Amino acid sequence: MGKIMQRLVIVLVLALTLISPLETVSSAASETVRAAEAGGENHTDPVISDVKDSDCENTDTAMPDNENPGADEPDTVEPQPVLQGLIRDENGNLFYYKDGVKIKNTWKAVSGSKYYFGKSGKAYVGKRKVGKATYYFSVNGKRKTGWRTINGKKYYFSPKNGKMVTGKKTISHYLCYFSEKGVLLRKIDKNKKMVALTYDDGPSIYTPRILKTLKENNSVATFFVVGNRVPMYSDTVKKAYDMGCEIGNHTYEHKSLPNLSETEVKRQISKTNKEVKKAIGEKPVIMRPTGGATNTNIKKWVGMPSIIWSVDTLDWKTRNADSTRRAVLNRVKDGDIVLMHDLYSATATASETIIPELVRRGYQLVTVSELAECRGGMKETGAYYSFRK
């Protein structure tokens, strides 16, 4: 019995030990509630501290970056390519870049073609001047050579260096004439028939009629002028020369040279040369002795080739247009030199038929010097009647 009581006392003590803190808390809480209900001025709300993210323990398990699609990644800057070679911009202009820099004011060879890039770096197109020379570039900027038709006019650009040709030039089997601006004026086919019409003793009031007919038929002739007549018709002489006709020397006073001294022969030639040079800017390079009369000494004294003839129309004698026309058209052959005189109206009239008819027959009407160049040339002391093959 005594032991039982002793155990009960121990249990009771333990129970009181557990109950005592709860009563204390309960008592404090009851006291707080009573104060709040009383609305006392000394009431203080409980303080709630701010909670920082750093104060909280992170219990999440971190994911590796390569397994976290939401993770931010640093931006990657792709390197820009360096421009090289031929590049065309959005406007179609062509440039050439070397290590990202445009080349300017220079030639450049690319894949066998040549280009020129100007002040802005843009490739030249069309007919363009580079330095003192003119070249032609295609729409793709490539330098082109050979024959080119530009705005209906023909030009030739040398296959050797690409430069535009001016003046007289032999191209293949053609003898060509170009203006200062490179435009083709005339072209003679060395393989085709040709004749040199020549007119003596002028110029005169009838010469312009002959020039008109020649121009209408894209043809030329040679005028052997008498020196003392040139000042009166200097404009006519210049017009003939500008058309491509040749001006030859026919002495100053139309004297027969075999009857003159060396000094007088040379005077007849030199005075005419001076008058012709005043009119056209250059001296004649061929002459015709009066009446065709010459000899070894005269050929040496005149200092230029002597041109005679192979077809004599005798127009000075007949002064008949129909007779002159028949004399030419019934006898003419390839390489002939035809003699007429532009002093007479009948000769001008005959020429209006002769010239177009010869062209229709396939003859090229050329100057004496052109005929000679196409058929082997001339010597300074030579006398020439024709250049027949």
Catalytic residue set = 200, 341
The CA–CA distances, whole Å, from 64 to 58, 61, 68, 72 equal: 16, 10, 6, 12
Look up tokens 């002769």; give the residue.
354
Nearest alpha carbon to residue 364 among 169, 142, 154, 176: 176
| b/e burial code for range 255-273 (CB count within 10 A of at least 16 → b) | bebeebeeeebeebbebbb
* The three-state (H, E, C) secondary structure of 159-207, written as one string: CCCCCECCEEEEECCEEEEECCCCCEEEEEECCCCEEEEEEECCCCCCH
Rounded to 5°, angle at Cα 255 from 254 and 260: 150
Quote the Cα angle for 204-206-207, to 5°.
Answer: 70
**Count of other CB atoms within 10 angstroms of residue 121:** 17
